[in-house]
Chain A
Amino acid sequence: EVQLVESGGGLVQPGRSLRLSCAASGFSVDDYAMHWVRQVPGKGLEWVSGISWNGAMIDYADSVKGRFTISRDNARNYLYLQMNSLRAEDTALYYCAKDIMSRGWCTGLRPWGQGTLVTVSS
C-alpha cells in the first residue's frame, strides 16, 4: 500500500527553524515527484514546494522562497522540508503528497499524508 506519514511539526517561535519529514512506503521517492502543500485549518490549500523524481527540478512558492528547502533521502525513502526564519503566517497543517505519474511533475497528487501541524507563535 502506498502511504505517506509526516512528522516534525510543533510549536516554534518566530524566526526559528523546523524540519518536517515525510516517510514514504509502498513506492520509491526517487521514481516520483513529491510535493509539500499546506493548509491553514478551516481554509484552502497552498502549494509550498516540489521536487522532481530525479531532483533536476525544484520549485517553491514565492511566500517561502529563500527560507524553505525541500530535499529527499532516496536510501531512507524520505522527503524533507527544512523551514527557516519561520513567520506567524507559516502556521498551517503541512501535507506531503506524491505525483501519480512516475517521472512526471504534478499530473495529480495522490496519496496525501495526514499532515503535520506547524504553529509559529511567541
Chain B
Amino acid sequence: DIVMTQTPLSSPVTLGQPASISCRSSQSLVHRDGNTYLSWLQQRPGQPPRLLIYMISNRFSGVPDRFSGSGAGTDFTLKISRVEAEDVGVYYCMQSTQSPPTFGGGTKVEIK
C-alpha cells in the first residue's frame, strides 16, 4: 500500500496569515492514465470530511479560492492563503492512484 506522510502534525496559525501543509507519498502518484489522484479533505470538529481539492490542484465547486493545491510525483502541498476561523479542523491528503486508497495521518489547523 502507498504510505502518505503529512507534516506538520499541528499548525497553529494567526487569523489572516497563511498556512501550508505538506504531504509525501511513498511512491509516485502518477497513474498509468497520466493523471495524479491526490486529493485534500477538510474535517471540521464534529463533521464528516469534506473534499476541497482533487487531482492535485482542482478546487471542488464552492471551495473558497484561498485554498490551493500544488505538487507532483510524490510531493504535494495544500496552502491556505489567509486563514479564517471557519478553517479550523483537521486536513487530510488522500491518494487514489493505486488501490487501496490511503490517507495521510492528518494535520490539525488551529488558531493561535
Contact = CB atoms under 8 A, between A and B. Distances in A.
Q: Do A and B come from one complex?
A: yes
A100 B105 contact: no
Interface in B60-112: 60, 92, 94, 96, 99-106
Contacts of B53: 108
A59 interface: yes
B105 A112 contact: no
Give the interface SS of chain A, mostly helix, strand, loop or mixed.
strand
A12 interface: no
Contacts, number: 66
A47 interface: yes
Consensus secondary structure, chain B interface: loop
Contacts of B41: 45, 109
Interface residues of B, number: 23
Query: How many A residues are at the interface, by size bracket?
Result: 20 to 34
A102 interface: no
Interface of A: 35, 37, 44-47, 50, 59-62, 95, 97, 100, 105-115
Interface of B: 1, 37, 39, 41, 48-51, 53-55, 60, 92, 94, 96, 99-106
